[in-house]
Structure 1
Amino acid sequence: MKKLLIILLVTFTLVSCKKDFIDLQPISDMNAGNFYRTEIDMNQAVMSPYASLRSLYNQSFIYVGEIRSDNTTFSWVPGNSKDMTSIDNFKDVLLSENTYVLSVWNNSYSTILRCNIVLDKIDAVPFTDKKLQNQYKAEAKFLRALMYFWLVRTFGDVPKVEHQLTVKEAYDLGRAPSQEIYDLIVEDLKFAETNLPATYAAADKGRVTIGGAKGLLTKVYMTMAGYPLKKGASHYALAEAKALEVIGMGQYSLVPDYKSLFDVSKKNSSESLFEIQYKKGGTGTGSPWNNDFAPRFSNREVVLVGDKGGFNAPTPDMSKAYETSDPRKTISMSDSYVSVPGGKTITEKYVKKYYDVSFSGSDNDNNWIELRLADIYLLYAEALVRQNKQFDVALNYLNKIRQRARNSTGGSASVLPDYLPFSSAAAFLLAIEKERRVELAFENHRWFDLVRTERAKDVMSAEQLEQNGFPAGSWSDHMLLFPIPLQVIQSNPEKIKQNPGY
């Protein structure tokens, strides 16, 4: 069976929920056909798409969200890896055979399939509590919406799969217009926000809540307002309203110390709307980033246990984006390290936002924060400015981010001072863009911010010229999307066509 059909048709092994939500272990030799009989079975089934997120956030989404942008690059590349360099260096041809692009596609649809299994099976299972049944549906729909949001921003038009497919259905399936995908995303998230709880008991902490659904819907509306759909004012207004709903819930607040956001002992904080859950300990559920991001040839100066990857290194432009004495820079990245032994300063940039001591290899305890309140504050401010309204309110929320940043080290107002009123909306928007970059650095937002605001051409052309000798006039808008993987096209060439320019 061809690759796409394998992805869309195969029934995946599920994971069970033991004493707490993150303790995810596979069910051995489970027959999916006769498994879905009880509420407990369905709870275990819902855990499956949550677990599969780790394969995407471990690395795949970092390639398309950060390395494609002006934020990060590679400090070390094995051999002659065009799969890596073509994502980062726009002079290299980004081929449809790229294994990292294929991984984004395959793992996203694998997760969607797991969500669809839940949604296809759950109505036949007797529930004593209809509210719980709808909660499980809402979790599956949120995760499906999250995957489609990544897919549509990465590839544009993609197949819309809302249930498990027969072979014939799979062969008849083409790429749905992006508008249809966004319609499905919005529909799923509206169901999710209506049927999810606001909080969970400690054992289930990490499952998505109402706040997570509202936060993602805020981002979706902002994206729809910008490029490529360009819905404009109507969707900036929708984003504004949804952001206010998150803020008005009263259960989320900026943590006082920026550094504590990424402290492995303080996961799922008051600022977090949704995190991908990881747990170290040799169970295969740990996170790799502290090791992956460390300079390849460093010793124990950067990480104490395990290998170093030289992956996702900050660019010189990213380093310069921080204002002098901005505490977020030293928390998020470093421009160098001191070698041990020898005491020599090695000038090599690396991300240190996700520090932990690995259990072994690349097995750390960091979660990945997909949605947090600071992101919502900045989107709210931007939505107001783009509607030319309430600039004073927008300024207040923009400055809340700066105030937290400087207070992280007990700094005075002379360090990272508040913004004063801007002379124009354009200047205001550039300040928000800059603040989003440094506040959310290395969290997979930058590339998609540049695309939706139609800033990618100007920003990336300048960055690529400086870093990679990108010839003037070489930009093409086809670079805003990634190629459809060749294996996917070969699986169904009559229905799946390549993006223009590839």
Structure 2
Amino acid sequence: MKRILILVLLVAVSFSCKEEFIDLQPISDMNAGVFYKSEQDMNQAVMSPYSSLRNVYNQLFIYMGEVRSDNTTFSWVPGDSKNMTSIDNFGDVMLSDNTFVLNFWNNVYNTILRCNIVLDKIDAVSFKDPKLKEQYKAEARFIRALMYFWLVRVYGDVPKVDKQLSVSEAYAVGRTSTQEVYDFIVEDLKFAEANLPVSYAAVDKGRVTVGGAKGLLAKVYMTMAGYPLKKGASHYALAEAKALEVISMPTYSLVPDYKALFDVKNENSAESLFEIQYKKGGTSTGSPWNNDFAPRFSNKEVVLIGDKSGFNAPTPSMSAAYETGDPRKTVSMSDNYVAVPGGNTVNEKYVKKYYDVSFAGSDNDNNWIELRLADVYLLYAEALVRQGKQSETALLYLNKIRQRARNSTGGSASILADYPPFTSSDAFLLAIEKERRVELAFENHRWFDLVRTERAKAVMSQEQKEQNGFNPASWSDNMLLFPIPLSVIQSNPDKIKQNPGY
């Protein structure tokens, strides 16, 4: 069977039933042909793409958004893994048969398939409440939009698949232009925004809300305004308006203590617009990051239970980006640990933001916060500055982030003073960029921020020169995208062509 079917294969999907939404427990081997009959069936069908998000976020996306940036690197690589080092080191040639690039593609398209199954089946099912049917559609379309937002930023032009396809239809699908993919994302998010609730009962907490759709739409508009589409002022204005709608919602507020924001007891907080839901307990629904990010050869000084993988280690420049005394650093990372036994200090950096005690192996309770209010504050401030307007308002929201940080556990009034008015928009934008880096560190925003603001060349050339001996003269904008997986091209070479430079 040709591998193009990884995009659109008609599968009998494993759905997720729920006593509580957060459980996301898979039930096995349902017969898809007879399943879609009732509201309850469709509710379980909607849980399927939510569940599938765990496969996308478990590890691979960190390589695309953090390791590719100046935030993190690999402190340990198993063997001579060019698949990993070529993502981190721009001097290594990233090959189109890179397994991480392929697995990311597969996992994202599998999630899109699950969304499309919901959307293809739901209209034939009778609902007592028509609004509930539209809500289920909106949830599927939000997740589909989120997945395409990932795809288009990672690969550029990608096949747009908006329904289940037959084998013959699959072979007719080629790469869709970046512009058209973004238009499709916006269309899905506008539908989601119009049909999602503001909140849910406790049993369904974690499902996407209207605030999540608005917040993601603001981020999409900001990305469209920058590279590669360069829509500019019109889309900065759209991002500003949508971000302000989120900020004005009484549902959301900054968590007063930055440390508490990442405590597993505070998941789906008032700051969170959308989280990927995880639950430990030996049910294959736990999160791996506490173990994945721990130094490979540490003992129990960093994590108490399970493996340590040495992935996603902070870079020296990331460590230096924090101002002296910034409590966000102590929450987010450490420069070393004290070895037990022996008591020696091991100077190895690691991410601390996702701490939990594993159930077994790499099985933790941490949700992944995909979008939160602090991100929206900073996008709002940036959108204003890029339009040359309301500098006082932009400064207000930039400083709200610093105020929360200095009032957090470990902070004090003597650190992180408010920024004074800036003398130029360039200086203002660099301050926002810096604040985004330290506030959102290890949350997978940095690489995409550098790309959309056209700062990747300057920042990454210097970073790569310092860390990997990279010659900045070797920089190519082809590095801004990842290769289309080789097996995808081989499956349909007439329709799927490779990105330049690979």
TM-score w.r.t. length of structure 2: 0.99
- SS of the counterpart of 1:274? strand
| Residue 117 (structure 2) aligns with | 117
| Residue 298 (structure 1) aligns with | 298
Structure 2 CA distance for partners of 1:12 and 1:368, relative to 1, 3 Å: farther
| Residue 95 (structure 2) aligns with | 95
Cα offsets for 1:251-310 (capped at 9, x unmatched): 100000001111001100000000000000000000000000000000000000001000
Q: Could you list the runs of 5+ residues in structure 1 that have no partner in the other structure?
A: none
Cα offsets for 1:363-386 (capped at 9, x unmatched): 000000000000000000000000
| Residue 411 (structure 2) aligns with | 411
8 Å contact from structure 1 (residues 12, 114) kept in 2: no
8 Å contact from structure 2 (residues 10, 165) kept in 1: no
- Output aligned runs, 1:162-241, within 5 Å: 162-241=162-241
Once residues 14 and 397 of structure 1 are traced to their aligned partners in structure 2, the CA distance between those partners, rounded to angstroms, is 43
Superposed displacement of residue 53, structure 1:
0.5
- SS of the counterpart of 1:127? coil
**Which amino acid in the other structure matches residue 83 of structure 1?**
N
| Residue 152 (structure 1) aligns with | 152
8 Å contact from structure 1 (residues 196, 210) kept in 2: yes
Once residues 496 and 472 of structure 2 are traced to their aligned partners in structure 1, the CA distance between those partners, rounded to angstroms, is 33
| Residue 142 (structure 2) aligns with | 142
- SS of the counterpart of 1:479? helix
8 Å contact from structure 1 (residues 13, 27) kept in 2: no
Once residues 22 and 491 of structure 1 are traced to their aligned partners in structure 2, the CA distance between those partners, rounded to angstroms, is 37
Q: Percent identity?
A: 80
| Residue 39 (structure 1) aligns with | 39
**Which amino acid in the other structure matches residue 303 of structure 1?**
V
Matched, 1:329 2:319: no
Superposed displacement of residue 249, structure 1:
1.1
Once residues 365 and 260 of structure 2 are traced to their aligned partners in structure 1, the CA distance between those partners, rounded to angstroms, is 14
Cα offsets for 1:190-239 (capped at 9, x unmatched): 00010000000111000000000000000000000000000000000000
**Which amino acid in the other structure matches residue 14 of structure 1?**
S
Cα offsets for 1:102-137 (capped at 9, x unmatched): 111101100000000000000000001000000000
**Which amino acid in the other structure matches residue 352 of structure 1?**
K
**Which amino acid in the other structure matches residue 236 of structure 1?**
Y
- Output aligned runs, 1:2-401, within 5 Å: 2-401=2-401
- SS of the counterpart of 2:25? strand
8 Å contact from structure 1 (residues 451, 480) kept in 2: yes
Once residues 284 and 389 of structure 1 are traced to their aligned partners in structure 2, the CA distance between those partners, rounded to angstroms, is 49
**Which amino acid in the other structure matches residue 419 of structure 2?**
Y
- SS of the counterpart of 1:370? strand
Superposed displacement of residue 12, structure 1:
4.2
8 Å contact from structure 2 (residues 461, 475) kept in 1: yes
8 Å contact from structure 1 (residues 13, 26) kept in 2: no
Cα offsets for 1:2-60 (capped at 9, x unmatched): 12214312324232322100222223221111110000000000000000000111111
Once residues 238 and 216 of structure 1 are traced to their aligned partners in structure 2, the CA distance between those partners, rounded to angstroms, is 12
**Which amino acid in the other structure matches residue 84 of structure 1?**
M
Superposed displacement of residue 410, structure 1:
6.1
**Which amino acid in the other structure matches residue 96 of structure 1?**
S
**Which amino acid in the other structure matches residue 218 of structure 1?**
A
Once residues 459 and 193 of structure 2 are traced to their aligned partners in structure 1, the CA distance between those partners, rounded to angstroms, is 35
8 Å contact from structure 1 (residues 66, 447) kept in 2: yes
- SS of the counterpart of 1:211? helix
Once residues 18 and 376 of structure 1 are traced to their aligned partners in structure 2, the CA distance between those partners, rounded to angstroms, is 31
How many residue pairs get aligned? The number is: 502
Once residues 294 and 428 of structure 1 are traced to their aligned partners in structure 2, the CA distance between those partners, rounded to angstroms, is 35
8 Å contact from structure 2 (residues 98, 485) kept in 1: yes
Once residues 14 and 37 of structure 2 are traced to their aligned partners in structure 1, the CA distance between those partners, rounded to angstroms, is 14
Once residues 476 and 12 of structure 2 are traced to their aligned partners in structure 1, the CA distance between those partners, rounded to angstroms, is 39
8 Å contact from structure 1 (residues 71, 446) kept in 2: yes
8 Å contact from structure 1 (residues 206, 268) kept in 2: yes
Once residues 70 and 29 of structure 1 are traced to their aligned partners in structure 2, the CA distance between those partners, rounded to angstroms, is 43
8 Å contact from structure 2 (residues 12, 31) kept in 1: no
Once residues 411 and 56 of structure 2 are traced to their aligned partners in structure 1, the CA distance between those partners, rounded to angstroms, is 37
Structure 2 CA distance for partners of 1:317 and 1:246, relative to 1, 3 Å: same
Once residues 357 and 410 of structure 2 are traced to their aligned partners in structure 1, the CA distance between those partners, rounded to angstroms, is 27
**Which amino acid in the other structure matches residue 133 of structure 1?**
K
**Which amino acid in the other structure matches residue 166 of structure 2?**
T
**Which amino acid in the other structure matches residue 368 of structure 1?**
W
Q: Once structures 1 and 2 are overlaid, which stretch shifts more, 189-198 or 14-23?
A: 14-23
**Which amino acid in the other structure matches residue 200 of structure 1?**
Y
Once residues 156 and 370 of structure 1 are traced to their aligned partners in structure 2, the CA distance between those partners, rounded to angstroms, is 21
- SS of the counterpart of 1:216? helix
**Which amino acid in the other structure matches residue 432 of structure 1?**
I
Q: Could you list the runs of 5+ residues in structure 2 that have no partner in the other structure?
A: none
Once residues 362 and 247 of structure 2 are traced to their aligned partners in structure 1, the CA distance between those partners, rounded to angstroms, is 36
TM-score w.r.t. length of structure 1: 0.99
**Which amino acid in the other structure matches residue 159 of structure 2?**
P
Cα offsets for 1:341-367 (capped at 9, x unmatched): 110000000000000000000000000
